[in-house]
Amino acid sequence: MSELRKDPIVERWVIISTERGKRPHDFKQEEQIKITGGFCPFDPGNEKYVPPEIYAVRAPGSQPNDPHWTLRVVPNKFPALGIEGDLDKHAVGLYDAMNGIGAHEVIIETPNHSETLDIMPLDRMKDVVFAYKARIEDLKKDKRMKYVLVFKNYGAVAGASLEHSHSQLIALPIIPKRPLELFSGAKTYFSYKDRCPFCDIIRQELNDKVRLIEETKHFVSITPFASRSPFEVSIFPKKHSTHFEFEDVEILYDFTYILQNTLKRLKIALDNPPYNFVLLNGAFIFDHDDYFHWHLEITPRLTKIAGFEWGSGFYINPTPPEDAAKYLREITL
Amino acid sequence: MSELRKDPIVERWVIISTERGKRPHDFKQEEQIKITGGFCPFDPGNEKYVPPEIYAVRAPGSQPNDPHWTLRVVPNKFPALGIEGDLDKHAVGLYDAMNGIGAHEVIIETPNHSETLDIMPLDRMKDVVFAYKARIEDLKKDKRMKYVLVFKNYGAVAGASLEHSHSQLIALPIIPKRPLELFSGAKTYFSYKDRCPFCDIIRQELNDKVRLIEETKHFVSITPFASRSPFEVSIFPKKHSTHFEFEDVEILYDFTYILQNTLKRLKIALDNPPYNFVLLNGAFIFDHDDYFHWHLEITPRLTKIAGFEWGSGFYINPTPPEDAAKYLREITL
């Protein structure tokens, strides 16, 4: 079983995979893995090559794990965490550790091997967004869990190991460092302004318009003022809301629309760049309703993360967010 | 002039390069840049292709910027920050910004194009370590500056844009996020234990020995308990010390020795991996003498940083640090 370990200085947990422990020569081989061409375990007809489905959108009358689906959620075949067992929180001298309990799932977004989110019919892309919601709601019932992280790696540079369009989620018995930082920073802001900082940001961006890409009925897409990397985009619901999974059908449909538009804009502007997106959502149980505001962050992978960034948490962004917003705003969809 | 911008939620500053702003097509071209072969601006005889030297180790009787040197420090030709001007701290609505004032220097570690730190005579590698010290001491005199970040990118994957062995430093008018987190976490630990957490870690690692790679008279090299990535190594002075630049000749010579040994071990174990190292040093003026302990962190670049890591600050490490330490410890030097 893998192990969750906490850094003794900062609030950061890591997963140490003790089971599939990699030795030095494993890393040398890694470069040769190719992600395109040949057999795809996510194609319809190949259902037996992945674990049985947890959730699906299927043709009427079809059966679980048969090929008549348009979306499936399956456990990751090589999960970073296992769902069975006790947390067994314990000390290792001055360090803290617990068992690697959690869920690691794959959302297979389409049956069509080459179809990507940006070109998918909106009605089927909406199924992807609703799958995120359904899975978060279900995993919330597991009282060992504290957070679900939904994310997507598109392109090999962004960490995708399979070409077939998919996203992933990891349910965790701890709140990861980044959301915790956002909660903590937002709380500090709230404590002296009595306002949600994200609501303030949205108001300012709608007013200034220089970092605004698109506004829909319920959402805005912007390039953050202090973007860490070029063409980084955040999508916020305009109305204060802590949890993605509490949004209703109308709002999530509008979210699907602005997300697809954003992906289209990035694809056209940057010639199909690799990207990551991550849903920065509220935690399962946390007193942050007043000051945290869920959002989705999209990062095209255009620059390398070098020693400076890694060591300092300090980023050099060669594209002012105002320029990036202008390029993206002026794309004809 | 570039701009320093602060994230409104978390304590993170970024540099926005407004001058050499990159447009979408600039990123498409970037893949084609090659770093090996041909003309090298760091080779002796090519001094005129880089800005005039700030510091050097030279043959007796030689002149600044002539080719008779064994080490040079020069300003980065494409600096992320400029040394001239006022900080001009200002608000942009709810956001905070200041001018991109700072220094960005390159330490050309050797006159020999293909010589790397791990194979360099120890006496010349010591000059590299002393150059770090001398430059930090000099930059400290600039009252606008708060921190110097010394780092090295080795190999294209780790962000090196030139093959010739070099490291870099950036002097900043702010304390970057990562050191600030370390100061803050260490302070919390100190506040309830009244001990430096790093001293406690060193004591435990010397006792347990499972994550210990090497111990010298003044230093230890270990694989951190909650390593974010495989074969990550930290080198700590055994005696509590906040600032690298306050160490004396004997200690810095011993540091050079253990650093070179560590780089040799990584090269042999991992077949010359790309790596980053970063000096996590104390700040210029900060009340952290009791609880912060300088160290150097080396990260071989073996795994990709994907959406999950970027979005969550949560890392999956496929090599237990105990296994990594054993491999590195057992290398014959």
Homologous superfamily in CATH for domain A3-175: HIT-like (3.30.428.10)
Min distance A253 CA to chain B CA atoms (Å)? 23
| A176 contacts B313? CB cut-off 8 A | yes
ipTM associated with this complex: 0.91
Min distance B111 CA to chain A CA atoms (Å)? 23
Choose, from B104, B164, B166, B218, the residue flagged as catalytic: B166
Min distance A102 CA to chain B CA atoms (Å)? 13
Beta-sheet strand order (sheet of A166-172): A55-58, A69-75, A103-108, A166-172, A147-154, A275-280, A295-300, A233-237, A219-222, A212-215
- Distance (Å, whole) CA A170 – CA B118: 40
Residues B305 and A305: beta-carbon distance below 8 Å: yes
Q: What is the pLDDT of residue A33?
A: 45
> In A, which residues are within 8 Å of B7 by CB distance?
185, 224-226
**For a pLDDT cut of 70, what percent of chain B falls above it?**
95
Q: Pick from B17, B277, B307: which is nearest to A152 by CB?
A: B307
Interface probe for B, chosen from A11, A22, A174 (most Cβ of B below 10 Å), is A22
> In B, which residues are within 8 Å of A319 by CB distance?
17, 21-23
Homologous superfamily in CATH for domain B178-329: HIT-like (3.30.428.10)
Helices B249-270 & B321-329 angle (0-180, nearest 10): 100
- Distance (Å, whole) CA A198 – CA B282: 33
List, for residues B296-319, the tens digit of each pLDDT value: 999 998 877 666 677 778 888 989
**For residue B30, pLDDT beyond 50:** no
What average pLDDT does the structure give for chain B?
92
**For residue B21, pLDDT beyond 90:** no
Interface probe for A, chosen from B27, B146, B309 (most Cβ of A below 10 Å), is B27
Q: Pick from B21, B157, B271: which is nearest to A320 by CB?
A: B21
| B273 contacts A23? CB cut-off 8 A | no
Domain ranges of chain B: 3-175, 178-329
> In A, which residues are within 8 Å of B314 by CB distance?
12-15, 149, 172, 176-178
Mean pLDDT on B276-304 = 93
Q: What is the pLDDT of residue A30?
A: 47
List, for residues B134-188, the tens digit of each pLDDT value: 999 999 999 999 999 999 999 988 888 899 999 999 999 999 999 999 999 999 9
Q: What is the pLDDT of residue A28?
A: 58
Q: What is the pLDDT of residue A37?
A: 61
Q: Which chain A residue's Cα is nearest to B100?
A: A316
- Distance (Å, whole) CA A42 – CA A46: 7
Tokens coding B5: 């911008």
B140 versus B17: the higher-pLDDT residue is B140
Q: Pick from A6, A15, A160: which is nearest to B317 by CB?
A: A15
- Distance (Å, whole) CA B171 – CA A34: 41
Residues B260 and B219: beta-carbon distance below 8 Å: no
Q: What is the pLDDT of residue B29?
A: 44
Residues A270 and B24: beta-carbon distance below 8 Å: yes
* Residue B288 annotated in active site: no
> In A, which residues are within 8 Å of B189 by CB distance?
8-9
> In A, which residues are within 8 Å of B19 by CB distance?
none
Min distance B326 CA to chain A CA atoms (Å)? 11
Q: What is the pLDDT of residue B17?
A: 83
Q: First vs last Cα of chain A: how many Å apart?
A: 48
Q: What is the pLDDT of residue B40?
A: 95
List, for residues B213-270, the tens digit of each pLDDT value: 999 999 999 999 999 889 999 999 999 999 999 999 999 999 999 999 999 999 999 9
What phi and psi, each to the nearest 5 degrees, are found at residue A217? -60, -45
The residues of A that are catalytic are 166
Residue with tokens 């000749």: B249
Matching CATH topology for A3-175 and A178-329?
yes
Identity of the residue numbered B266: L
> In A, which residues are within 8 Å of B224 by CB distance?
7
Min distance B319 CA to chain A CA atoms (Å)? 5
- Distance (Å, whole) CA B315 – CA A13: 8
Residues B133 and B245: beta-carbon distance below 8 Å: yes
| A277 contacts B23? CB cut-off 8 A | no
Neighbour-count burial of B80, counting CB atoms closer than 10 A to its CB (0-12 exposed, 13-18 middle, 19+ buried):
buried
Q: What is the pLDDT of residue B157?
A: 83
Count of CB pairs separated by less than 8 Å, A with B: 290
Question: What residues of chain A score a pLDDT lower than 50?
Answer: 29-34
| A307 contacts B299? CB cut-off 8 A | yes
